[in-house]
C-alpha cells in the first residue's frame, strides 16, 4: 500500500479480538489487524499502564503485516482494571507480562514476531526478547528505556533541576517522605490507599509532573498525561508507581548487560536528542552493546517524537516487512 514518507497508513479495524485468560484472575485484551497471512508483529505499549491505541495500527503496512496489539495487565480493556482498588497488584510484574506475551503468541499460533514499542514498551520488549530470542525476528524501538533505577531517579528527581517549580509541587504531594529518592515509593503507597480522595490527588500530582517533563515538546500536546480519562489516569499512575518503586523487578543494568542474548536480531533504535524523560545515553549504551542494532538520533525531537521520528519508524517497519 502506497503512502507518503511522513504519513501513517490509513486507519484500519481489527479482524479479530478477544480476552485471553492469563492466570491470577486476569484477562488480557488482544486484537489482530492487517493481513491474516502477513508478517506477524506485536505492538508493546508504554506506561507501564498506558494501554494500546488505534493509532499504533497505522505504523504497519496492512497488506504486509499481521499486527497484534494487546493491553497489558490492569489497563486498557484488560481486567481487572487497576483503577479498581480491589485489583491485586501482586500479580502484575515484568515477569507476568513476559509470560502473558508468550501465552498470547501461542494462542495466536505465531512462531516468531517483530516487536515494536517505545518508552516502557522498550523495556518490556528487551526483557521479553532476552528471555525468548528465538521468538523475535526484528525489533523497532522509538524512545529507548531500560528502566534502570538510575533512569527512574532521573525522571522523578534529577530532571527536576530543569523544572524546579513543578518538581517542588510533585514532592509536596507526598509530605510524609523527606527523602527525595523515596518519592516514587511514596506515591505507590498512596495509590494503594483505601481513601479515593488520596488516590485521586496522587494521580493528579503525578500526571502534572509527567506533563511538566514533556512540556517543551510540541508533539505531546498540552497535557498528554493529565488529559487522559480519569479511570485511565488512575490505572496508569497506580501501575507506573508500582513498577518503578520496584525497579521493574530487574537487576540494575540487566537489559544492557544481557544484550548479547539479542545477537542476530536486527533492530532499529530511534531516539530524540532532547528526550528529557529518557536521556539519549541509554539508547547510546544499548546500541554499543548490541551489534545488530542501528541507532538513529533525531536532533529536534524529544520523548513524544515528531515527524522525523515517525518517518524513521515507518522506514524501519517498511524495511523489515520484507
* Residues assigned a catalytic role: 119, 275, 303
Q: Which spans in 145-302 are helix H?
A: 149-156, 164-172, 183-190, 196-213, 230-245, 254-257, 280-289
- Give the DSSP H/E element, type plus range, for residue 113: strand 113-116
Asked if 16 contacts 31 with a C-beta cutoff of 8 angstroms, the reply is yes
Assigned C-alpha cell, 106: 501461542
∠ CA 116-119-125, rounded to 5°: 45
198 burial (CB, 10 Å; 0-12 / 13-18 / 19+) is middle
Can you tell me the distance from the alpha carbon of 148 to that of 153, in angstroms, rounded to the nearest whole number? 9
Can you tell me the distance from the alpha carbon of 293 to that of 188, in angstroms, rounded to the nearest whole number? 35
Collapsing DSSP states into helix, strand and coil, what is residue 115? strand
Can you tell me the distance from the alpha carbon of 29 to that of 141, in angstroms, rounded to the nearest whole number? 22
Could you give the strand order of the β-sheet that contains 136-142, starting from the edge strand earlier in sequence? 16-23, 26-34, 65-70, 39-43, 113-116, 136-142, 267-272, 293-298
Amino acid at each position: 500500500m502506497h503512502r507518503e514518507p511522513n504519513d501513517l497508513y490509513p486507519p484500519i479495524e481489527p479482524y479479530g479480538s478477544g480476552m485471553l485468560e492469563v492466570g491470577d484472575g486476569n484477562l488480557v485484551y488482544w486484537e489482530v489487524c492487517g493481513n491474516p497471512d502477513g508478517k506477524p508483529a506485536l505492538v508493546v505499549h508504554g506506561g507501564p499502564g498506558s494501554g494500546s491505541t488505534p493509532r499504533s495500527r497505522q505504523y504497519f503496512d496492512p497488506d504486509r503485516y499481521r499486527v497484534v496489539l494487546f493491553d497489558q495487565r490492569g489497563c486498557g480493556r484488560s481486567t481487572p482494571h487497576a483503577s479498581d482498588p480491589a485489583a491485586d497488584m501482586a500479580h502484575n510484574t515484568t515477569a507476568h507480562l513476559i509470560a502473558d506475551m508468550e501465552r498470547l503468541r501461542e494462542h495466536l499460533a505465531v512462531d516468531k514476531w517483530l516487536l515494536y514499542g517505545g518508552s516502557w514498551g522498550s523495556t518490556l520488549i528487551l526483557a521479553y526478547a532476552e528471555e525468548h530470542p528465538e521468538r523475535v525476528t526484528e525489533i523497532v524501538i522509538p524512545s529507548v528505556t531500560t528502566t534502570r533505577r538510575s533512569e527512574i531517579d532521573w525522571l522523578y528527581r534529577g530532571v527536576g533541576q530543569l523544572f524546579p517549580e513543578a518538581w517542588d509541587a510533585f514532592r509536596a504531594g507526598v509530605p510524609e517522605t523527606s527523602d527525595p529518592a523515596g518519592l516514587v515509593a511514596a506515591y505507590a503507597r498512596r495509590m494503594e490507599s483505601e481513601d479515593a480522595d488520596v488516590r485521586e490527588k496522587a494521580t493528579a500530582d503525578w500526571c502534572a509532573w509527567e506533563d511538566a517533563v514533556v512540556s517543551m515538546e510540541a508533539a505531546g500536546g498540552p497535557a498528554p498525561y493529565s488529559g487522559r480519562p480519569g479511570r485511565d489516569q488512575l490505572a496508569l499512575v497506580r501501575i507506573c508507581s508500582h513498577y518503578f518503586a520496584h525497579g521493574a523487578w530487574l537487576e540494575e543494568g540487566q537489559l544492557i548487560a544481557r544484550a548479547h542474548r539479542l545477537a542476530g536480531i536486527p533492530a532499529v533504535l530511534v531516539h530524540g536528542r532532547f528526550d528529557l524523560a529518557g536521556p539519549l545515553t541509554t539508547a547510546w549504551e544499548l546500541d554499543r552493546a548490541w551489534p545488530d542494532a542501528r541507532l538513529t538520533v533525531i536532533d529536534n525531537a524529544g520523548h513524544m517524537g515528531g515527524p522525523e521520528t515517525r518517518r524513521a519508524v515507518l522506514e524501519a517497519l517498511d524495511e523489515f516487512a520484507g
